[in-house]
Chain A
Amino acid sequence: MANGRFFDEMTKPDGLPRDVYQRVAHWLASAPPELLASRRSQAELMFRRIGITFAVYGDKDSTERLIPFDIVPRVLGRSEWTRLEAGLIQRVKVLNMFLADLYGKGEVIKAGIIPEDIVLNNEHFRPEMRGVKVPHDVYVHISGIDIVRVDDHDFYVLEDNARTPSGVSYMLENREVMMRLVPELFAQHRVAPVENYPDALLSSLRSVAPKQAGSDPVCVLLTPGIFNSAYYEHSFLADKLGVELVEGRDLLVKDNVVYMRTTQGPQRVDVIYRRIDDDFLDPLAFRPDSALGVPGLMSAYLAGNVTLANAVGTGVADDKAVYTYMPEIIKFYLDEEPLLKNVPTWRCREPDSLKYVLDHLPELVVKEVNGSGGYGMLVGPHATREQIAEFATKLKNDPDGFIAQPTLNLSTCPASFESGIGARHVDLRPFVLSGADGVRVIPGGLTRVAMKEGSLVVNSSQGGGTKDTWVIEDFQGGLV
């Protein structure tokens, strides 16, 4: 399965399975094709049922569709996970310190670690947040760090998602479906559970409530509403957390205190897990045309009467231009080497880098600094001559707006298709929670897979699928 060019999660270049994949490889090799086919169709049926349960449905009016699911798990050994986990905790700790500093004393800028203009000119930088103290200095309560690997040893951070990362409901549901689908595989492995994520999230949220909230703070989940593409995740999470799923119109602000409108009158709200971007939070503070937000929310927030998770203004930390400075930023705050590598990146704003990028476009991936979802990017090796020429012009006109990276040989993982087992490229989004009690990672995450052979784009908006992600105890030898 490994074709030698890419690191395969299951199969070594000599054709034998890697230790952590011994049992899965054996299962795949011994399972008759009919069995795999029936599991695939069962999986589809279960997801369709969940889809009917949560999301939408008819073809014409569908605002959501099912994301393809692959039944072969992504497996990580405990020792691999321990390294990754330490790196994620280090990274998110620093993201919080970095944000506290940017909106505080600005030492990272004074020390010349990062150019001031990258921060100040960033559209996600919120001057309103300067000098504001957020509870326990936690800004990024929930983050999803996109990880890729290209070999046996190293994990690379592809992107830090520090605003309102989504996908965690797939992590939870994929596991539920897999446990029903392949109980025999679970019986052979000790898979670390992920089902405690909602509990962990709730306790993180409660830990950052304003002091005056008392011992039983009221938390809510704020959604843009039923037409948002992630609405189903919002309602799923609110249900699991046992908190109200509110829209902007359910909240009101009176004397800088936030209330929700209930059948028993207004009820005070202490913590808002918001799945709305900064721009739409409060029409009085940000976009005046936003009908999704709550007038006065920002002033209640600045008065310290309500906690927003994530904090306002975290977008400046997950910007792709800021990303390129993360290794230096980690060293600056912790005086430690970064445990997770950055993908080597050319900042097109620097003339030497721009020249290199323009000379090597066919082999590079070029991304917009503010883009997301796999849109607005150039994948050099897969681009036509015209597309490359078009991007060259864009780059020359707005070098600050772009970064470039080598085309990564993302690892592959076996996936099951009608035509048999095929290796497909994957990445991994683990979810990291920060609260008053520190930073923690749920063992697992969302593995995204490019379902098309050879494709490197894993985004669900571009036809990517998902897999269940297992963290298992290290190989003890022998097949069960």
Chain B
Amino acid sequence: MLSRTADNLYWLSRYMERADFLARIIDAAQRLATLPTAYGGTGSEWESTLNAAGALDGYREQIGAVNETSAIYYLAFDPQNSSSICNCLEYARTNARAVRTALTIEMWQSINGAWLEMKRFQAAFGKPGTIDRLELTRFLDFVRKASLDFDGSAHRTMLRNDAHWFSRLGLYMERADTTARILDVKYNVLLPETEQVGGSLDYFQWTAILRAVSALTAYNWVYKETIKPWLVADLLILRPEMPRSLRSCYDDIARLLDNIGRAYGGTGASQNKAHETLRQLETIDIKQIFETGLHEFLTEFIESNDALGAAIGAQYLIHVDEGLFQGQIQSQG
């Protein structure tokens, strides 16, 4: 398949997943921001949310001081924020349109329908200023549903070939990145078992993290006990049964890259890298992670995940002219 087609499919899924993540963290932050400080409200909720979205520097530069209304507008609608929800949906559709024939009708309709709906919301939230909370809730629900729709249509209708694998790969790469980021933003409240926990003060912070990755119920099922910060970290980093955990994402990433390697009759840097990370996630336990430092672990993970993205790009998506002619010209497709 064309490298550009694979690239479009990969980014299409990444942007849909990112839109979903943004909707979830806005929702979680809204809850936290309304808490009295006695319940763990920090007053800096929007700053850390912008940070988790990787948008804090851009926000400071383009908007300035952080306040709730501007932060919500910036994260959800602002055209100048290249990673706003609306821009994610816009880029997703542009990518989809360019590879229209590689998508199933169901996938195209889900993405095109979401885009049309998004335009209606965008018109309603045309300017920064006051946010109609009811309408915002509807919007965030719509974004999550759009992402589910797209995901479901891809899962149910795509042929299981390289197009499907590249599309899924984008989803898990993005999910691993966002899960690691939200953990890293909150690493200061995720303390090891040995530390003195600051009462129940941080309780709402922990549930907010779980809520942001839709894992609150999952936590209860897996651990059957009250919320402990180290277990939150364990769930989101190491548990294979938790679909947003780093471990689970890498199970999928490694499997998808193996499928691609098998179909193409050869593996390379991206397969090696994915398996290396997966082995690490399989063998380490949460105690060891806290010993080396959660923040250090997560920073390293995010960098390594970025490096894997670059390796996938170089191996499959963006072919640099020279160099790729070394012994791999195909005579037939």
Chain A residues close to B by CB (< 8 Å):
52-54, 56-58, 60-61, 216, 218, 225-226, 235, 238-239, 244-247, 249-250, 252, 254, 259-268
Contact = CB atoms under 8 A, between A and B. Distances in A.
A266 B329 contact: yes
A264 B330 contact: yes
B241 to A, nearest CB: 32
Interface string B308-333: 00000000110101001100111111
Interface stretch (B94-102, B223-231, B279-287): B94-102
B264 A264 contact: yes
Contacts of A235: 100-101
B262 to A, nearest CB: 13
Contacts of B97: 56, 226
Contact of A259 (B1, B112, B329, B332): B329
B119 interface: yes
A265 B328 contact: yes
A-B residue pairs, 7 tightest by C-beta? A265-B328, A239-B101, A261-B3, A261-B319, A263-B316, A267-B330, A263-B6
A58 B115 CA distance: 9
B137 to A, nearest CB: 24
Interface string B1-17: 11111100000000000
A56 to B, nearest CB: 8
Nearest to B162: A263
B329 A250 contact: no
Given A226-B94, A226-B98, A267-B332, 4 more contacts: A56-B97, A58-B115, A244-B5, A268-B329
B105 interface: yes
Contacts of A252: 321
Interface string B180-207: 0000000000000000000000000000
Contacts of B317: 263
Contacts of B1: 244, 262-263
B87 to A, nearest CB: 14
Contacts of B162: 263
Size band of the interface chain B makes with A: 20 to 34
A245 to B, nearest CB: 7
B316 A266 contact: no
A216 B112 CA distance: 37
Contact of B4 (A216, A247, A259): A247
B269 interface: no
A262 B3 contact: yes
A218 B4 CA distance: 18
Candidate in B5, B317, B319 with the most chain A CB atoms within 10 angstroms: B319
B112 A57 contact: yes
Q: Is the interface of A mostly helix, strand, loop or mixed?
A: mixed
B105 A263 contact: no
Contacts of A244: 1-2, 5
A239 B109 CA distance: 17
B330 A263 contact: no
Contacts of B329: 259, 265-268
B91 interface: no
Given A245-B101, A261-B319, A267-B333, A57 B116 contact: yes
Nearest to B327: A265
Contact of B330 (A226, A238, A266): A266
9 contacts: A54-B100, A57-B112, A60-B119, A218-B333, A226-B94, A259-B329, A262-B330, A263-B3, A267-B330
A22 to B, nearest CB: 39
Contacts of A245: 101
B172 interface: no
B150 interface: no
B219 interface: no
Given A53-B105, A265-B319, A266-B319, A250 B330 contact: no
Contacts of B333: 218, 262, 267
B100 A262 contact: no
Contacts of B116: 57-58
B108 interface: yes
Given A261-B319, A267-B330, A254 B325 contact: yes
Contacts of B4: 247, 249-250, 261
B112 A268 contact: no
Contacts of A263: 1-3, 6, 162, 166, 260, 264, 316-317
Contact of B108 (A53, A216, A247): A53
Contacts of A247: 4
A266 B6 contact: no
Contacts of A260: 2
A246 B2 contact: yes
A236 B328 CA distance: 31
B109 A52 contact: yes
A247 B105 CA distance: 22
B323 to A, nearest CB: 11
Contacts of A225: 98
B331 A268 contact: yes
